[in-house]
Structure 1
Amino acid sequence: MINAPGVSGDVDVAIAGARAGADVVRSMCGQRLDHIDKGAGDFATTADVEAERAILDVIGAARPDDAVLGEESGRRGAVDAGRQWLVDPLCGTLNYAVGTMLVAVNVALRDGAAAVADPFSGEVFFTDGATSWVRNAGSDARLTPTPATRLVDVNLDPPFPSAPGFRAVDLLSNPDFVEHFRPRVVSTTLALAWVAAGKRAAYVTDGGDLSRSVHFAAGIALCRAAGCTVTGVDGAPVGETGRGLVVAADDETHGLLMSMIRSRS
């Protein structure tokens, strides 16, 4: 392992923010936590709220003029601010609430640096927008995506805005999918960091424009900078005109998944 060159500025802020949130998530694990109902079966816990507060403190101290969009606290800062941070303090809240340690802390500067922290492995995945790295135990290693595992994470959570034409869950009954890949469901965008790191071959989820989502922005940035193939489920670039997300370690894996998705659509 080597140190990532030129890691400073916004990358440092993203890493520090993600680590601050991860410290809170880890320290509160196993405690009795209040649940905050968000409607439609969704909820936050006091750990989500406290982790976001810790992240916002880091960003506020380092970049006081920047705007922030936090999952729990909403928008902060000037409406016309030229820079905006996207913060998801605990992606995988249901996992966390039932004691499953598969969660991510996501911090991304829109169209810039990003970091994803795994509170329980100690890994922090980060990018400056050009290359992607993972930091663990004080050392950095370049992220190298590979389809070798054949493991594909499929988000099974509703709603399914592309139904009935396509639902991510439909892949599991596709004979071609079963022949080429092994499905996994971790229910957190930590899976996106794993695609960039070569721990997963791909990730598929339905949805609308995910490029500006607090849940997905950091993972998308990591994967793009690592050299993954990233599109919507319709094959269009991720953004206002795209739908959902198909992130694959390489073009061949992405092409296979897209052919399966189109056959169902």
Structure 2
Amino acid sequence: MNYSKELEVAKQAAKQAASIIRDYAGRTSFDVKLKGKNDLVTDADVNSEKKIIEVIQQAFPDDYILAEESQKRSSIPEERIWIIDPIDGTTNFAHAFPVYCVSIALWENRQPKVGLVYEVANDELFTATEGEGAFLNGEGIHISQNNDPTSSLIGTGFPYNNLNLVDNYLKLFKRMMEKTHGVRRPGSAAWDLCNVACGRFEGFYEYGLSAWDVAAGVLIIKEAGGVITDWKGEGEWLFGQRIIAGNKSVHAFLLNEIQQCFEQDELKG
């Protein structure tokens, strides 16, 4: 099936949402609330999500929607479902740190078909449709061909509400510092995944993520030639809260390092 119309609608929705986000970014103040410990939501999140849903529903009124701020689900249907994060990196946005993304994905038959991540502050539009490759601002992208972990740059994120695994996570972080060129934590999982897709990072790992954080970026990585699994090396990463991504060699390295640092019952969400 050709998903070009769906991708164009996703682009329209992302651009309109980005206009709302930029408007809020230019203000001296806006409303910031706590959904939970260290879990922020702003007026920009709420209003950009409304706009994304409006644009999608006008084009595809029968499709399901899963969105961070308004429409929650713990699983996805076989039918078409749009998975939306209006601002991935809300804490960054609230502090004017310039890495925050609109993330929009279309899944069908429980598989990603369209993925879009728009990094608003730097105007980077990452897109992919199933079987058609991955792109950054219209130019084809591919994962890094560097297969040596010792010269690799790794992306990660730190959990903000589930701190149960932090002690072992910090042990893993130390191993990454010792065994790679370095570790970066920009604060937006969607953008981290895209950095793997375009070869800036050789790999990425994190836990405590939600479906809307990863639903678009994983297709972009797959279409760029990368590998995605959960921490057990399996496929439960959409709702499983644990993810590893990278080229084949660095993914295998990260999987081994993670399994060295965590008990078996900690590898699955």
TM-score (norm 2): 0.83
- Would the aligned equivalents of 2:67 and 2:84 in 1 still touch at CA under 8 Å? yes
Structure 1 residue 33: Cα displacement: 1.0
The answer to whether the Cα contact below 8 Å between 1:95 and 1:103 also exists between their aligned partners in 2 is yes
Kindly report structure 1 stretches of 4+ aligned residues shifted beyond 6 Å: none
1:104 is aligned to 101
Task: Describe how 1:152-191 pairs up with structure 2 within 5 A.
Answer: 152-160=154-162, 163=165, 166-167=168-169, 169-174=170-175, 177-189=177-189, 190-191=191-192
Deviation for aligned residue 1:94: 0.6
Alignment of 1:83-232 (within 5 A): 83-110=80-107, 111=111, 112-136=113-137, 140-146=138-144, 148=146, 150-160=152-162, 163=165, 166-167=168-169, 169-174=170-175, 177-189=177-189, 190-207=191-208, 213-232=211-230
How far, CA to CA, are the matches of 1:115 and 1:193 in structure 2? 10
Measure the CA separation in 1 of the matches of 2:18 and 2:238. 30
Q: Which runs of no fewer than 5 residues in structure 1 stay unpaired?
A: 1-5
Give 5+ residue unaligned stretches, structure 2.
263-269
Q: Residues 35 and 162 (structure 1 numbering): CA distance in 2 closer, same or farther, change over 3 Å?
A: closer
User: Taking structure 1 as reference, are residues 243 and 133 closer, same or farther at Cα in structure 2, changes over 3 Å only?
Assistant: closer
Supply the AA of the counterpart residue of 2:253: L
Give the paired residue count.
249
Residue aligning to 1:247? 245
Label 1:45 to 1:164 Cα distance change in 2 as closer, same or farther (>3 A). closer
Q: What's the CA shift for 1:159?
A: 4.4
For 1:48-63, list aligned pairs within 5 A. Answer: 48-63=45-60
Output the aligned Cα RMSD. Answer: 2.6
Shift, 1:162, TM fit: 7.2
How does the TM-score come out when normalised to structure 1? 0.84
Summarize the Cα distance change of 1:164–1:91 in structure 2 as closer, same or farther, 3 Å threshold. closer
2:23 alignment partner in structure 1: 27
Name the amino acid aligned to 1:154. T
Q: Shift of the alpha carbon at 1:154? A: 1.4
Counterpart Cα distance in 2 of 1:44 and 1:80? 27
Residues 114, 221 of structure 1: 8 Å contact kept: yes
